[in-house]
Structure 1
Amino acid sequence: MTAFDQSSFDQFVEDNDVYGFFKEAITLKSGRKSHFYAKWRTVVEDVWLTEKLVDFVLSFVNSQ
């Protein structure tokens, strides 16, 4: 198992459009307004991306 690499994880999150920041608030599914949105759905719906995410999580946990 490789050591957790924060910059690689950050790049993974950015490359997969997990988050978004908006000038105008968007309405979330809950009905609340927010200028920030985190969307992991794209990652967890793809087996390869989910495996990569799990590798990051395991690396992080093992480094603690």
Structure 2
Amino acid sequence: MVTLHKKIVLDEKGNPTEVIIPREEYKEIEELLGLDLDENAVEDLKQAKEDREKGIKDAYMELV
């Protein structure tokens, strides 16, 4: 689980408008959500999902 050290920015009426978190925590969240993947990795994952849904087993290697 990610621990967030956040700062909440309020508008002039005291309503929360933004949240500031340390960059390292942001990068950890980005990685957990897969937002740090490049285009090739995203395409590989899409292809793997398609292969799995179609039952194409030779697209995978056996893990020992």
Q: Would you say same fold, with TM above 0.5? A: no
State the TM-score, normalizing by the size of structure 2: 0.35
More strand by share: 1
Structure of higher RCO (CA pairs closer than 8 Å, 6+ residues apart) = 1
State the TM-score, normalizing by the size of structure 1: 0.35
